[in-house]
Amino acid sequence: MKILVAVKRVIDYNVQIRVKEDGSGVHTDNVKMSTNPPDDNAVEETVKLKESGKVKEIVAISIGEDKAQESIRKALAVGADKGIHVKADSYIEPLGIAKILKKIVEKEKPDMVFLGKQAIDDDCNQTGQMLGSMLNWPQATFSSKLNIKEKSLEVVREIDEGLETLEINLPAIVTCDLRLNEPRFASLPNIMKAKKKPMELLNAKDMGVDLKNRIEQLKVEEPPKRKAGIKVTSVAELVSKLKNEAKVI
């Protein structure tokens, strides 16, 4: 079996985001970037499947500027076999990303596509679902446990009500939750070896898909500052305040 796993380079989750004064976006110059955390879980799961002998090949793909290759190299360092970098110099919406991924799927013919459940920069949570729909493949989103079978996949999903277990046929789309696993560290020798693994270079412009963005971004602004809290002396007071002042119960 062969898996395609998609990774995105985003602002590191520890960095305090700074909104540009003109509201056009956030500052990214000299800001620490890293792989989107749920994408790390996706990569880790594919490597585990490979280690268990159920998967033969892992192809890691990233779409974005040249430095997106850092995220691919990281995936290669923990166990992916081959990388594909689709160069794109400007922002592409999930729809465009899904279209590019579809083209890659048609070429690479994987049995499964793994993605993070969503990216922590735009929080869209759309790419996996759109790709599933375009390919007409079954999908399991927010997966926190996987069991691979002969021609199907048993997946436990994290949903609002608790956990849901699905069985879906292959080929399939899986989007990964943070609880799926704990990503491993890349070792120094493996980082060195990753530099020699093959990386195919493509350009988004040459993929033959319509990448026009459909959404107009009006403004980016900081969330309102949290106000100082108060201390209450009794449960009765708390309930009364929730009811009468906050009006939430």
Partner 1 sequence: MARETMEYDVVIVGAGPAGLTTAIKLKQLDPNLNVCILEKGAEVGAHILSGNVFETKALDELIPNWKNEGAPVKTKVSKEKFLFLGKNSSLSWPTWLLPSVQKNHKNYIISLANLCRWLAEHAEKLGVEIFPGFPASEVLYNDDGSVKGVATLDMGLDKEGNKKDTYQEGMELHAKVTVFSEGCRGHLGKQLIKKFNLDEGKNPQQYGIGLKEIWEVSEEQHQEGLVMHTAGWPLDSKTYGGSFIYHAENRQIYLGYVIGLDYQNPYLSPFDEFQRFKTHPSIRKMFEGGKRISFGARALIEGGIQSLPKMYMPRALLIGCDAGTLNMPKIKGSHTAMKSGLVAAEAIVENIKNKTDLSIYEKKFKESWAYKELYTARNVKPSFSWGLILGIIFTGIDQILFRGRMPFTLKHKHADHEALKPASQMPKIEYPKPDGKLTFDKTSSVYLTGTNHAENQPVHLRLKDPNLPINYTLKEYDEPAQRYCPVGVYEIQKEKFVINSQNCIHCKTCDIKEPSQNITWVAPEGGGGPKYGNM
Contact with partner 1 (CB under 8 A) among 4, 8, 9, 34: 34
Q: Are 88 and 65 in contact (CB under 8 A)?
A: yes
Determine the interface stretch with partner 1 among 29-37, 115-123, 152-160, 205-213 (rule: CB under 8 A).
29-37
3-state SS assignment for residue 204: helix
Measured from the CB of residue 78, what is the shortest distance to partner 1 in angstroms? Answer: 11
Letters for 190-229 (x = contact with partner 1 by CB under 8 A, - = none) are -xx-------------------------------------
- DSSP per-residue string spanning 20-88: -TTSS-B--TT--EEE-HHHHHHHHHHHHHHHTTS--EEEEEEEESGGGHHHHHHHHHHT--EEEEEE-
Instruction: Report d(CA 167, CA 139) in Å as an integer.
Output: 10
Six token digits for residue 231: 């201390």
Determine the interface stretch with partner 1 among 13-21, 112-120, 172-180, 203-211 (rule: CB under 8 A).
13-21
Beta bridge partners of 19: 26
Q: Does 233 bind partner 1 (CB under 8 A)?
A: no
Determine the interface stretch with partner 1 among 28-36, 99-107, 125-133, 202-210 (rule: CB under 8 A).
28-36
Measured from the CB of residue 109, what is the shortest distance to partner 1 in angstroms? Answer: 32
Q: Are 157 and 164 in contact (CB under 8 A)?
A: yes
Beta bridge partners of 5: 60, 114
Q: Does 188 bind partner 1 (CB under 8 A)?
A: yes
Determine the interface stretch with partner 1 among 2-10, 145-153, 189-197, 230-238 (rule: CB under 8 A).
189-197
Window 158 to 187, contacts with partner 1 (CB under 8 A): 182-185, 187
Q: Are 150 and 109 in contact (CB under 8 A)?
A: no
Size of the site for partner 1 (CB under 8 A): 20
Determine the interface stretch with partner 1 among 10-18, 120-128, 133-141, 154-162 (rule: CB under 8 A).
10-18
Taking the CA atoms of the chain, what radius of gyration do you get in angstroms? Answer: 21
Nearer of residues 48 and 82 to partner 1, judged by Cβ: 48
Q: Does 38 bind partner 1 (CB under 8 A)?
A: no
Window 73 to 112, contacts with partner 1 (CB under 8 A): none
Q: Are 141 and 129 in contact (CB under 8 A)?
A: yes
Please give the helix or strand (H or E) that residue 41 lies within, else none. Answer: helix 37-51
Q: Are 190 and 78 in contact (CB under 8 A)?
A: yes
Q: Are 110 and 59 in contact (CB under 8 A)?
A: yes
Beta bridge partners of 59: 4, 82
Contact with partner 1 (CB under 8 A) among 5, 7, 8, 16: 16
Question: Which residues contact partner 1 by CB under 8 A?
Answer: 12, 14-16, 18, 21, 29-32, 34, 182-185, 187-189, 191-192
